[in-house]
Structure 1
Amino acid sequence: MPRYEYRCRTCDDSFELSRPMAESSAPAACPAGHDDTVKLLSAVAVGGTAAPTTGTGGGGGGGGCCG
């Protein structure tokens, strides 16, 4: 279940709630009981695609060092 971060506009406390995605926009009361809260945008990526990497990596193999 995803976690969402909220901030209370009354006491300026930040808190997290685990709730289904379908309820992500539902109102959330802060732990102190205030109802004036706002959902914060998360900086953590949950999904998506990564660009494929190119190259062979590794190192070594410079040239004939041993004769």
Structure 2
Amino acid sequence: MDNNDDPNQPNRYEDIFLMFSALVEKWLVRATIGLLTLLLIFQLLLLSPSIRYYLVKVEQLEGVSFVRSE
């Protein structure tokens, strides 16, 4: 007799799917945390004018900055 008709008994496919989805969820959370960390690091690097000069092409193309003297 086949016991697959019993709704209370877990299905093998459901078990495999739950294991797979838990693994994918774990990797997605790690990837999101990693990307947010990289975003924060690069945003902090852009605060430094000397580093921003090498990271941003527009900074190199703007030329010499104007300094007002009073």
Q: Which TM-score bucket, shorter chain as reference? A: under 0.3
TM-score calculated relative to the size of structure 1: 0.23
**Structure (1 or 2) with the greater helix fraction:** 2
Structure with bigger strand share is 1
Q: TM-score, structure 2 length as denominator?
A: 0.23
Which has the greater radius of gyration? 2
